Structure 1
């Protein structure tokens, strides 16, 4: 799953010139490793590190490292955090790690022998540096949620896509309680944007291409009854029932989507509460710009990729 790395600004500045290619390949959707914008003033800390380094005397080098820092920050995880103790960056990162752990903290040294700190000299072959892209969890609600939790806790917008989604069915209700709990514990925002897309295919019979009006009405009532208890106070969730246009993209694949990362499920987003031995295959995928499922399933897309049969928003007080 995605991995959030806290990066010591002093380390970044001291090593960038000799290791620029490494840093360019280290972070971003393609690697599934993301820089943590920690603390919120991480860029200012980079500037402070530059002023006390030889780079400060080289205007071109200074511009280059700041431009690259800005490109990293465009796709960085901007986590919210409380007041930090005075002192060195590493001490602050270790303090924050006790509240919500990073995947790892990258620093020049590890004086406290903290298991979460990876020293620069050990980075290339360190187990924490290599992110798996494929998973084979059991289809229990807890196992599925544990795989996607790092992504859901760090996303400002999430789209769930499953043509069979039905919140009144145990296989979806039980696991969505877990998925939405991950989002409630977001480290980046108090009000993430959540969209759930379904085709209500569980209610379709052979030869029937779309749900009846009663099916859609019952489904909306179930969502309004069950979803608010799973959402954060003051948040909302958009739910849409879609179907394919004639000759268009089929509503078939199952995804959890953010703007940068797509998790594709082999069987579906639901769990299998009555089949304890059941497993699924989850793949973390990065798509070229313009070809991401995020763009396909975004309800704001024009022209739309699917016909909307019903769309509504569930809110919480």
Structure 2
């Protein structure tokens, strides 16, 4: 559901109005993020704005706005920065050949099918268009696929579902899918669920799923009173998704065949992140 774009710094700095027009279309909640490519992308934007507006208020307004961007807008996916002596567009094309962006947005016309000229950008352009809500089949792959971009680059993944139980295949398969996407790092998977089952029994059940965790990944179990929980989410530092039915699949049949998944607005994500950061885990593995 989230597209990563390479954005030419020179494409957005001709005016403060143009800067706002482009950048307001980005953010995890919009289904689009600006790749932090190269790593000094923000500096390149400042340099471009300085060339255009040196000594003018326009420059300071662009820089001030840029400094407010969080990691939900300019997203670092640890891409290499390429050869610094090359132009931005040449570096972007090399990186795109290695690991494709959704598209490259350029200030100048380039004869390449995946490069969009900045004047071609609007919500109806199929390469730029993004979905903020999707109706999907309730398979583990589809459920977790919606959150794949966030999961692959997260340090903390909060799974919120009052009935999450890894001993049941319909929950086990989505958890396995998540684990398959996690980098071998210090990621933490937090499970937030209700107390409808005794804590000792829940801990025993979750203990059985520890073997699926990649090396270096930890899992935490957080318990709440049943009355406190209802909605289902996957939340990371950078964004979140709302699941209408829950984080269980329907691959065995007998339940709702489809699911609606919605990207969280930033303010809602921040609220729910804080809500589910207040409790201490009842167990941590390994």
TM-score, scaled relative to structure 1: 0.78
Cα gap change, 1:4/1:60 in structure 2, threshold over 3 Å: closer, same or farther?
Answer: same
Q: Where in structure 2 are the equivalents of 1:221-300 lying within 5 Å?
A: 221-224=207-210, 226-228=211-213, 231=214, 233-244=215-226, 250-275=228-253, 278-286=257-265, 288=267, 292-298=271-277
SS in 2 for 1:101: coil
Taking the aligned partners of 1:221 and 1:289, their CA distance within structure 2 comes to 32
Shift of 1:268: 1.1
- Which residue in the other structure is 1:103 paired with? 102
C-alpha separation in 2, matches of 1:213 and 1:63: 55
Q: CA, structure 1 residues 213+40, in 2 after alignment: closer, same or farther (shift >3 Å)?
A: closer
Over 4 Å off, 4+ runs: none
Q: Distance in 1 between the 2:65 and 2:48 partners? A: 15
What secondary structure sits across from 1:280 in the alignment? strand
Sort the Cα spacing of 1:25 and 1:94 in 2 relative to 1 into closer, same or farther, 3 A.
Answer: same
Q: Which one of 180, 183, 201 corresponds to residue 215 of structure 1?
A: 201
Q: Is the 8 A contact 1:35 1:77 kept in 2?
A: yes
User: How big is the shift at 1:274?
Assistant: 1.5
Match of residue 177 from structure 2: 178
Q: Is the 8 A contact 2:103 2:116 kept in 1?
A: yes
Q: Which runs of 5+ in 2 are unaligned?
A: none
**Alpha carbons 1:5, 1:33 under 8 Å: kept:** yes
**Over the residues paired in the alignment, what is the CA RMSD in angstroms?**
2.8
3-state SS of paired residue (1:72) = coil
1:208-241 residue CA offsets vs partner (Å, 9 max, x unmatched)? xx323541342242133x342xx2x323222223
Unaligned segments of structure 1, at least 5 residues: 201-209
What residue in structure 1 maps to residue 149 of structure 2?
A: 150
* Contact 1:262–1:293 (CA under 8 A) maintained in structure 2: no
- 1:17 matched to which residue of 2? 16
For 2:234 and 2:242, the matched residues in 1 are separated by 7
| Distance 1:55-1:27 versus aligned 2 partners, 3 A rule | same
* Pair 1:158–1:220, CA change in 2 (3 A): closer
Counterpart check, 1:67 vs 2:48: no
Give the deviation of 1:22 after TM superposition: 0.8
Pair 289,135 (structure 1): closer, same or farther in 2 beyond 3 Å: closer
Q: CA deviation at 1:260?
A: 4.7
CA offset digits 1:78-117 (Å, max 9, x no partner): 22123613411122222223343322221123524132x2
How many angstroms does 1:24 deviate by? 4.9
Distance in 2 (CA, whole Å) between partners of 1:140 and 1:289 is 26
| SS of equivalent to 1:127 | coil
